[in-house]
Structure 1
Amino acid sequence: MRLKNDVNLVDFLNQVQKCKYDVYMETVEEDKLNLKSVLSQYLFVVLVEQKDVWDHSRITCEEADREILADYLEMP
């Protein structure tokens, strides 16, 4: 799933903390950032400012957490 373009990143990361399971941002290079990690959150905020990364990355999470993040993700 992709992050919507008009997402408030602080709100999104607050919702990630409410998820039961880990939530990842995956890049085209197959790097994974666990968005429940504070260090990864810092990297995430820097990376999404780069349009190329934003356009080619995706967010993955367990099915159980998709409802929590639904307002922030483009569902397939």
Structure 2
Amino acid sequence: MANLHKILQVPANLTDDSIKSAKESINEQIKSMDKWCIRTAFNMALMDTQQLAAIQIAKDRGYDDLAIAMLKEMEVQNA
């Protein structure tokens, strides 16, 4: 447990700004990976309902740009 405590301690050379910047960067990476996962699920979907579910998930998570792009792609597929 002492080792875990040492790992969780913030090094003295890190400032609040550098930590904030790093967190923002990591959050952007997570958001990008989340979008990629949703897009991959959409691309692998075998049924329209699965594609619509992926679109709804993107919309629910605030990725309106992704939801719109997938909806447009679905419209082209079904034309």
Structure number with higher relative contact order (C-alpha < 8 Å, ≥ 6 residues apart): 1
TM-score normalised by L of structure 2: 0.26
Query: Counting strand residues as a fraction of each chain, which structure ranks higher?
Result: 1
Query: Counting helix residues as a fraction of each chain, which structure ranks higher?
Result: 2
TM-score normalised by L of structure 1: 0.26
